[in-house]
Chain A
Amino acid sequence: MKEGRGENLQILCSRKLNPKPIYTTGQVLHEGGTVPLAVCAGWCGSVLSQLDLNGIFSLTASGGKRSYIDSLSFISSPISAAVCELSETYFKERYGSGGFRKRKHDNFPHGQRREEKENVNPPSALMTSFKSFQLELDTRHDKYERLVKLSRDITIESKRTIFLLHRFISAPNGEEILNESEVKLDAVRRKIKQVAQELIGEDMYQFHRAVSPGLQEYVEAVSFQYFIKTRSLISVEEINKQLIFTAEDREETTNMTSNSHDKQPHTWSLRVTPVDYLLGVADLTGELMRLCISSVGNGDIDTPFELSQFLRQIYDGFTFIGNTGPYEVSKKLYTLKQSLAKVENACYTLKVRGSEIPKHMLADVFSTKTELIDQEEGLP
């Protein structure tokens, strides 16, 4: 009983305004014939003031009872509440009762308290300005949501890149993996380009919360790759240099907000904020700790020492900032310290026992340790 049955319902209403309470009578015109309807008290008055006085309110509903009600929900709730009330009897007649009332109250919890406002005429100055506020807020929220989505995509792809790079140490085909990671990071940068395009003409900090997690993860991935290649720490300038985009395809820019100027330069860039950089680097240390443990597992004795030195330098840098930095940074400092301790302990164990344990058994010594660490770590 659902498909394609369009019904045109017209609800004819009249009202008596004085004295209160207001009574409204209504009837539904259905396919030429009329169906008499319930009298609804009180709050219908305010509804009718939004319709034309004694006006005809018509809507087309397709499908059965259920979708008829759904189709009402796009109308503001007092109207639909009233219409539901008016049409309740009608549907009882037509489809039998049951379930209807309950659903109505679920949908229109505010229906009852609209009695007082008779003098709301839609085109008042206040309503007009609120309509423009609606537009402005919706635009802003939409942009925010788009950025959140992009940020999540950036996070996911960056995480995958990191997992890929962890395979680098255990696999002999190093070049291949580095190339692959480069391809992946390029894909991430394309997403960041979209972020940059969304932010043209905007205040970056207004939407910073939406994009920050993604950018941090990107910093982590890109600095991890950089470390593997060069054994040093990438600078924030270096990262930002890679985030200057030129216009090859402008398909995204068409739906920019109106306040972006026409004479945009054909390059646009996104700057990773210092805080995002710091947080990303703090996350990097976690990855380096994993790298250290797994390289021991592979019988690589040199890397752990190199790493412990590198991590110590980063740690020193962070302690230099201390708690003058933002709150999130000082929070990461604790995890950073733990990572460093793990690496230092690994180095210690290697130094003390490395000479005693035959090389092929080193892996066993650390494999138990690795599990332990992984358990503690959870998902960073």
Chain B
Amino acid sequence: GRDGASADGALCPQEIRKVVQALEQTAREILTLLQGVHQGPGFQHISKKCQKAREHFGTVRTQMESLKTKFPADQYYRFHEHWRFVLQRLVFLAAFVVYLESETLVTREAVAEILGIEADRERGFHLDIEDYLSGVLTLASELARLAVNSVTAGDYSRPLRISAFINELDSGFRLLNLKNDSLRKRYDGLKYDVKKIEEVVYDLSIRGLNKEATVGAGGEK
């Protein structure tokens, strides 16, 4: 059984793979759930969807507990590649939920808490910073999509808020000195998301559709 703590899973990548597959399944379920926000009626039920997603994260936490037992704690990076992808996906999902709820960027500590893991390597199974940043970049492209769809659904103020958020995110990423690795490649895609959202905002403003929206965005930081 995948939830039973095996006595010695030390050198047993199959066991890790099994748990990771279960995590991937849960991640897909959460994604499917959250995809609903892109559809017209979904905009009214955002908070309900977030609530449901948060329940699913309970499953994630149990699965993470199980994953931790499958290998020695000090060999995290030996098996890192096994769960890297799914962890980034889960970071994205957690960040998406938090954004939908509060329109802020989830902190690394908060994601770790949602996923039932540590933010700090010293304390056990942790969230690697590059995985966190990767997940955040996925959020950016999802928000670019959300900006488009919220206009379709008649919500003209959201794109402005998304634009402000993404721009701040972009400035944040420009503080980083990235190496020529996968994170860098992901980051290179951010400019297209920024561009996409700017186009949406432009379309709204030349048609005067942002008038009442500006009032709403004024309160937003």
Contact = CB atoms under 8 A, between A and B. Distances in A.
A208 B168 contact: no
Nearest to A131: B175
Nearest to A130: B172
Interface string B146-189: 00000000000000000110011111111111110000000000
A138 B76 contact: no
Contacts, number: 83
A323 to B, nearest CB: 15
A141 B108 contact: no
Nearest to B74: A203
Given A127-B172, A133-B133, A133-B176, A119 B105 contact: no
Counting chain A CB atoms within 10 Å of each CB, which of B80, B130, B171, B175 scores highest?
B171
A137 B171 contact: no
A203 B171 contact: no
Given A137-B178, A203-B75, A205-B78, A119 B164 contact: yes
Given A141-B177, A203-B121, A124 B76 contact: no
Contacts of B76: 203, 205-206
Q: How large is the interface on B (under 10, 10 to 19, 20 to 34, 35 or more residues)?
A: 35 or more
Contacts of A110: 191
B122 interface: yes
B48 interface: no
Q: How large is the interface on A (under 10, 10 to 19, 20 to 34, 35 or more residues)?
A: 20 to 34
B130 to A, nearest CB: 8
B175 A117 contact: no
Contacts of B176: 130, 133-134, 137
Given A205-B80, A206-B77, A126 B168 contact: yes
A129 B133 CA distance: 11
B10 interface: no
A76 interface: yes
Contact of B75 (A116, A131, A205): A205
A113 interface: yes
A205 B173 CA distance: 27
A124 B75 contact: no
A113 B177 contact: no
Given A76-B174, A116-B201, A203-B75, A133 B168 contact: no
Contacts of A124: 168, 221
A136 interface: yes
Interface in A1-51: 20
Interface of A: 20, 76-77, 110, 113, 115-117, 119-120, 124-127, 129-131, 133-134, 136-138, 140-141, 203-206, 208, 259
